[in-house]
A and B are shown apart, each in its own frame.
Chain A
Amino acid sequence: MTDSSATVGTAVAPKRRDIGIKSRNAAEKRFRAYGIIAIALGIFFLIALLWTVFSNGYTAFWQTSIELPINFEESVIDPDNERATDPNVLLTANYPRLAQDALAARLGVDPDDRSQARDVGRMISNGVRTQLRDMVVADPSIIGTTQTVWVLATADIDSAAKGQVDLAVDEARRKISDQQVEWMRTLQNDGAMQERFNSGLFTFGASSRPETAGVGVAMIGSIYMMLIVLVLALPIGVAASIYLEEFAPKNRLTDLIEVNINNLAAVPSIVFGLLGLAIFINFMQLPRSASIVGGLVLTLMTLPTIIIATRAALRAVPPSIRSAALGLGASKMQMVFHHVLPLASPGILTGTILGLAQALGETAPLILIGMVAFVADYPTTPFDPATALPVQIYMWANEAERAFVERTSGAIIILLMFLAVMNIGAIFLRRRFERRW
Chain B
Amino acid sequence: MKTSILTASAAAFALVASAGLAAARDQIQIAGSSTVLPYAKIVAENFGETFPNFKTPIVESGGSSAGLKEFCKGVGEDTIDIANSSRAIREKEVAACAEAGVKEIQEVRFGYDGIVFATDIAGPDWALTPADVYKALAAQVVVDGKLVANPYKKWNEVNPALPDWDIVAYIPGEKHGTREVFEEKVLIAGCEELGGMEAGAASGLDEKASESACKAVRKDGGSVDIDGDYTETLARIDSNKTGVGVFGLSFYENNADKLKVATMSDVVPSVDTISSGEYPVSRPLFFYVKKAHIGVIPGLKEYVEFFLDDQMVGPESPLAEYGLVPAPDAERDDQRAAFEDGKTM
Contacts and interface: CB of A to CB of B under 8 A. Distances in A.
Interface of A: 91-92, 129-130, 165-166, 169, 172-175, 206-209, 228, 231-232, 234-236, 281-282, 284-289, 292, 296, 367, 370, 372-377, 382-383, 385, 395, 397-402
Interface stretch (B153-161, B218-226, B253-261, B303-311): B253-261
Contacts of A385: 27, 29, 58
Contacts of A383: 19, 22
B231 A398 contact: yes
A173 B78 contact: no
Interface in B12-46: 12, 15-16, 19-20, 22, 25, 27, 29, 31, 34, 37-38, 40-42, 44-45
Interface stretch (B48-56, B105-113, B208-216): B48-56
B231 A235 contact: no
When A and B form their complex, which 8 residue pairs have the shortest distance between CB atoms, in order from nearest? A376-B56, A374-B59, A400-B254, A373-B60, A398-B229, A208-B41, A173-B256, A208-B42
Given A208-B38, A288-B29, A296 B256 contact: no
B6 interface: yes
B123 interface: no
Contact of B19 (A286, A288, A402): A286
A289 B29 contact: yes
B59 A373 contact: yes
B335 to A, nearest CB: 22
B80 interface: yes
Nearest to B252: A400
A228 B12 contact: yes
Contacts of A377: 27, 48, 55-56
Nearest to A281: B78
Contact of A235 (B6, B25, B50, B228): B6
Nearest to A370: B60
A289 B6 contact: no
Given A285-B19, A372-B62, A400-B230, 15 more contacts: A169-B121, A173-B256, A206-B41, A207-B45, A208-B42, A231-B12, A284-B16, A370-B58, A373-B58, A373-B61, A374-B40, A374-B58, A375-B56, A399-B38, A400-B254
B231 A397 contact: yes
Nearest to A212: B45
Nearest to B59: A374
Contacts of B27: 377, 385
A385 B78 CA distance: 13
A287 B12 CA distance: 16
Main secondary structure of the interface of A (DSSP, over half): loop
Contacts of A376: 44-45, 48, 56
A91 B195 CA distance: 62
B342 to A, nearest CB: 26
A107 to B, nearest CB: 22
B45 A292 contact: no
B49 A287 contact: no
B16 A398 contact: no
Given A232-B12, A373-B61, A174 B20 contact: no
A320 B144 CA distance: 89
A367 B62 contact: yes
Interface in B39-89: 40-42, 44-45, 48-50, 52, 55-56, 58-62, 78, 80
Contacts of B34: 398
A400 B256 contact: no
A287 B22 CA distance: 9
A173 B260 CA distance: 9
Nearest to A205: B56
A374 B38 CA distance: 10
B8 interface: yes
Contact of A91 (B25, B37, B52): B52
A234 B2 CA distance: 11
Give the residue among B20, B27, B41 with the most A Cβ atoms within 10 A: B41
B119 interface: no
Contacts of B52: 91
A340 to B, nearest CB: 14
11 contacts: A166-B257, A174-B257, A208-B45, A231-B8, A234-B5, A285-B19, A286-B20, A370-B58, A373-B31, A399-B231, A401-B254
A285 B58 contact: no
B250 interface: yes
A165 B257 contact: yes
Given A208-B38, A285-B78, A175 B254 contact: yes
Nearest to A175: B254
A96 to B, nearest CB: 11
B317 interface: no
A292 B257 CA distance: 43
Contacts of B12: 228, 231-232
Interface string B233-273: 00000000000000000110011110000000000000000
Give the residue among A209, A235, A375, A376 with the most B Cβ atoms within 10 A: A376
A289 B30 CA distance: 11
B38 to A, nearest CB: 7
A372 B61 contact: yes
Given A398-B229, A400-B254, A284 B19 contact: yes
A231 B16 CA distance: 13
Contact of A292 (B15, B38, B40, B55): B15
B276 interface: no
B9 interface: yes
Given A231-B12, A235-B6, A292-B19, A173 B45 contact: no
Contacts of A174: 256-257
